[in-house]
Amino acid sequence: MPRLILALLALLLAHPLHAEVLGIDIYERKPFAQGKAFGDVGPYEQIRGVVRFGVDPKLAANKGIIDLELATPNAKGLVECEGDLFILVPQDLRKGNGAILYDVNNRGKRLAHNFFNSPISGSGEPVDDEAGNGFLMRKGYTIVWSGWLGELLPGENRLLLKVPRVDVKGPVRFEFSTNKAEKSLPLARREGHGSYPPTKDGEAKAVLTFRAREQDPGKVIPRDKWKLNRIDLPKVDKGVQGTLQQIRVEALEGEFQPGMLYEVIYEAEGSLVQGLGLASVRDLISFLRYDLGSKNPLQRADGKIPFTRTHAFGISQSGRFLRHLLWQGFNLDEKGRIVFDGLIPHVAGGGLGFFNHRFAQPTRHNGQHEDHLYPCDVFPFTYGDSKDSFTGREGSILKVYEKSRCLPKIMHTQSAAEYWHRSGSLVHTDPLGQQDARIPDNVRIYAFGGTQHGPASEPLKVSFGQNLPNPGDFRPLMRALLEALDDWVREGKTPPPSVYPKIAGGGNPGFSSMAARTLVPLEEIQRRFPAIPTIDFPKVMQTPPFAFYGKDYWTDFRVTVEPPQHKPGEDYVALAPAVDEDGNDLGCLLVPEVRVPLATYTGWNLRAKEFGAEGMLANLMGSYIPFARTPDQRMKFKDPRKSIAERYGTFAEYRIAFFRECQKLVDGRYLLEEDLSRLIESRARHRDLFPKGQE
């Protein structure tokens, strides 16, 4: 059993001193949205600062932070780190709803503000002082963000965490790719990220290979055909400084080609103590929630803490962070108290993360084509007990909490894309996909059929996929589920039933009466999927490999074998939702536009030829495949799916059908009444698909 799990089990029987927030240095405090009042809650305040932590390596709760004991402590024996802090809070805390919503930033970006308040600027990052529809503010949440990633570069409003580097050496592997020919690319694969520097010997002996497919053997590019370039860290006037420089690889002859997988392996030095990112979130929320000292910026005027509950929300990488935080016991603070009462890991799929390791690379996630062999989609996958089919180990995401009274409420939400790209079925099956897993009473799972990882913006444009991306929008349903989670935690009100596809079929009252199996292998979906001209069906999906990372990996979380060893066929089994005659998903909680479809909405898309790796999955992207408008058009293109005219007749009939399906969602508490009229009004943009003059 990993040492962190053992340490946390010991914590349940002990009550050590709690962690120190050494201080919060606030450098900006101002009215949010020009002082706009949000319903009965009133105006909000925006707070920016830096929070400083001191973590004691001797405490049981911190024993599992990899390499913490190697970091230099301060005079009190504490290892220090610091993170950027951003808070939106009611000016009158007495009018708040008593809940903190902690949004785990995604690669430094704040997402919950836009996600729940409707798109604001069109980008993932909220524009300061723009409130959108003000949903979170009207509901009275205090929203907190903090830096937790040590590998990020300063700039573009990214939230950073500065953690110590320790004097160790070891092998590292950087895989990168591109969708267009490039002369220079970051080793981290993404801009805005730093990389571990090579040792002198490591740089001289570094090996760069390329291959067309993940399973192909790498071909070595001669060392005199490329070089590594280190980029100076940007300076920061306010906030946290960066830690790792960006390192780029430059082709000295030719260019890096689209779709190819490139991989650099070398000996690196100076590993980050990245596990402090998990501890920092634990300690910040524990401090804001429980500490009555003067350092807490969220005290009420009467000196009381205004919070009775705390929730966490994370999208994609951030959702995996929450699953990892739960698995490694960081939802208990150093006094054994609960940190988050409710958590929503969103579009995390079945993964954990490369978050608390020596030479961790938290940005990595496993894909079917890219980054396939990083230690992210690894056992355990489920929230209930499961057994690893390769090692015989037993475990679950919630194993640490079995003997405590600190079981949080969890809503695991995912799009259809997670089944194809992120091994999402393993959240609710056994590791070999043979039977449905037991879902604990404190967990709900909602699978949004016919959606992709993040809704595509309209008007739709083809990017690097063969088909249009998928605009299916689960955000209105997510607003309702956040409210249901808060009700569940605050007053014990039972949330809406889980809805997800199952091997056994059925089990989704009111939303799927399917008696037949609704979670199936790729080959069965291929047999059922309609033969739509010009549409290629996938021959691949993401299946997590069982890989060997080194003999001590599962005790010390050190990767010592690069590249990892993987035998063909030794994979966990991923499944995906069965489909109807249109190719739309069965057994899922369908968003309104998929319940009353004008197209086939899939969780998969394939890379287009001009972007390389043709036929591989277009990472995290779904497809939107429109129906023909009329029977004549359908016959002309030999489309087996009914046309829009055959389905609905007039636009008025379509809108009535759409309203009825939305109302069912409202009745089931999967949709808020306030979103109903907005969704109905949004249908106007599809009026041109119907005959003119017929309403």
554-577 pLDDT per residue, tens: 999 999 999 999 999 999 999 999
Residue 683, CA distances (Å) to 460, 506, 655, 674 in order: 16, 31, 7, 16
26-74 pLDDT per residue, tens: 999 999 999 999 999 999 999 999 999 999 999 999 999 999 999 999 9
Residue 444, CA distances (Å) to 93, 404, 438 in order: 31, 20, 11
608-621 pLDDT per residue, tens: 999 999 999 999 99
Whether residue 247 is predicted with pLDDT greater than 80 in this model: the reply is yes
73's tokens = 């402590």
DSSP 347-414: S-TT---S-SSTT--TT----SSSSTTSTTS-S---SS-EE-TTT--EE-TTGGGTTSS-PPEEEEEE
pLDDT at 148: 98
Confidence of residue 407 (pLDDT cuts 50, 70, 90): very high
- What distance in Å separates the CA atoms of residue 69 and residue 92, rounded to the nearest whole number? 42
pLDDT at 131: 85
Whether residue 692 is predicted with pLDDT greater than 90 in this model: the reply is no
Residue 645 near residue 654, CB atoms below 8 Å: no
Q: Which residues pair with 443 in a beta bridge?
A: 410
Whether residue 8 is predicted with pLDDT greater than 60 in this model: the reply is no
End-to-end CA distance of the chain: 65
430-487 pLDDT per residue, tens: 999 999 999 999 999 999 999 999 999 989 999 999 999 999 999 999 999 999 999 9
Whether residue 516 is predicted with pLDDT greater than 90 in this model: the reply is no
pLDDT at 305: 81
What does pTM read for this prediction?
0.95
Amino acid identity at 196: Y
Q: How wide is the angle at C-alpha 353 spanned by C-alphas 351 and 357, nearest 5°? A: 150
Query: Which are the contacts of 557, defined by CB distance < 8 A and separation ≥ 6?
Result: 2, 66, 356, 357, 358
CA dihedral 556, 559, 561, 565 (to 10 degrees): 100
Collapsing DSSP to helix, strand or coil, 445 comes out as: strand
Residue 575 near residue 588, CB atoms below 8 Å: no
Share of the chain above pLDDT 70, in %: 94
